[in-house]
């Protein structure tokens, strides 16, 4: 019987709010389980997918009870490699998650994987951390390709550079994996909601003090900015940065992104952040009642749906083109 994309099963590890899952589901793939330890993130995940198959803490799993799958996807913890954090790397227990993922790949003999992390992983510890990860996965039986991709090159107007890894089990490897080519992104206004009336008063004393600090004084003309529709403003800890038709990287710990509409400064909302991460509007509608601050934090820690979809498309094409490959016929374990 001919295999279809629905026969391709995947498990969503370190799932967050499910951006990686959604990217693959939009291709027709079948999610058989997920793993997330953050209660708030999993609550949002349930709203999006109504799926109670959370395996829980992957460091405590009985590997025999993990469902059989063809693809493992994981945005494994990035705080230990990020320039925003202390860059502790493998010295931080969160940096050890890659070893658990490696063990799962080996024990379940999973054919393919997609992993995501921050760009800072590339040069962390002078590149030794990256080399350690590649060697670890190579020794586990996988040919690994990696590349830094920017979300703005895959349909959404967000400057978000992340490193992506694609692994192919060596017995299934026929040629190098090719990452998707960039496409043109849509206009920023298409990702901003007309219903957002969370407006910042430019005469607010705190904001005016911010504009006149030593980093911004005589550098920022707020009247000029207000005259440029859909200009994006990033109110960083010290200096203010201005973007035209694109948004800076959404981050968990920094929510001070504003945009101009009708000569007023609107605060970027959690719902708009979902759109900028590639979530379709029907998912945004499901999140209408979620706390804005939590949603901003969760989207800042998520993958970009459109990037995963593009990578997934190339991986599925790779699988479908490989006439030697047969999808796993094993059934999900009954534990």
Query: Which residues are designated catalytic?
Result: 78
Contact between residue 99 and residue 107 where contact means Cβ atoms under 8 Å apart: no
Query: What distance in Å separates the CA atoms of residue 178 and residue 318, rounded to the nearest whole number?
Result: 9
Q: In terms of C-beta density within 10 A (0-12 exposed, 13-18 middle, 19 or more buried), how is residue 2 classed? A: exposed
Query: What distance in Å separates the CA atoms of residue 72 and residue 166, rounded to the nearest whole number?
Result: 10
Chain centroid offset of residue 282 CA: 19
Chain centroid offset of residue 108 CA: 24
- Give the residue among 145, 139, 143 at the shortest CA–CA distance from 106: 139
What's the CA angle centered on 283, arms 46 and 152, to 5 degrees? 115
Contact between residue 218 and residue 241 where contact means Cβ atoms under 8 Å apart: no
Find where tokens 């719902």 sit: 271
Sign of CA dihedral 263, 268, 269, 272: positive
């Amino acid at each position: 019987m001919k295999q279809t994309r629905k026969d391709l099963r995947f498990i969503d590890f370190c799932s967050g709010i499910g951006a990686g899952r959604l990217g693959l589901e939009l291709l027709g793939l079948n999610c058989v389980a997920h793993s997330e330890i953050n209660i708030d993130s999993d609550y949002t995940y349930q709203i999006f997918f109504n799926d109670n198959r959370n395996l829980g803490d992957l460091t405590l799993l009985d590997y025999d009870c993990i469902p059989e799958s063809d693809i493992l996807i994981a945005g494994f913890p990035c705080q230990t490699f990020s320039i925003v954090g202390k860059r502790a790397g493998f010295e931080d227990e969160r940096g050890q998650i890659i070893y658990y993922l490696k063990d799962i790949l080996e024990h379940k003999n999973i054919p393919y994987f997609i992993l995501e992390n921050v760009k800072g992983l590339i040069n962390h510890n002078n590149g030794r951390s990256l080399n350690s990860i590649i060697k670890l996965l190579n020794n586990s039986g996988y040919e690994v390709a990696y590349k830094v991709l920017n979300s703005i090159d895959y349909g959404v107007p967000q400057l978000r550079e992340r490193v992506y890894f694609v692994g192919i089990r060596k017995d299934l490897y026929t040629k190098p994996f090719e990452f998707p080519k960039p496409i043109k992104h849509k206009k920023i206004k298409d990702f901003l909601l007309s219903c957002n009336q969370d407006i910042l008063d430019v005469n607010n004393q705190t904001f005016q003090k911010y504009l006149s600090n030593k980093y911004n004084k005589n550098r920022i003309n707020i009247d000029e900015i207000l005259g440029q529709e859909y200009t994006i403003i990033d109110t960083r800890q010290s200096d203010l940065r201005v973007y035209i038709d694109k948004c800076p990287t959404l981050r968990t710990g920094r929510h001070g992104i504003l945009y101009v509409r009708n000569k007023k400064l609107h605060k970027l909302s959690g719902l708009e952040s979902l759109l900028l991460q590639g979530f379709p509007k029907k998912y945004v509608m499901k999140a209408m009642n979620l706390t804005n601050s939590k949603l901003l934090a969760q989207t800042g820690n998520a993958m970009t749906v459109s990037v995963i979809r593009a990578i997934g498309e190339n991986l599925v094409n790779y699988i479908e083109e490989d006439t030697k490959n047969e999808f796993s016929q094993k059934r999900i374990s009954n534990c």
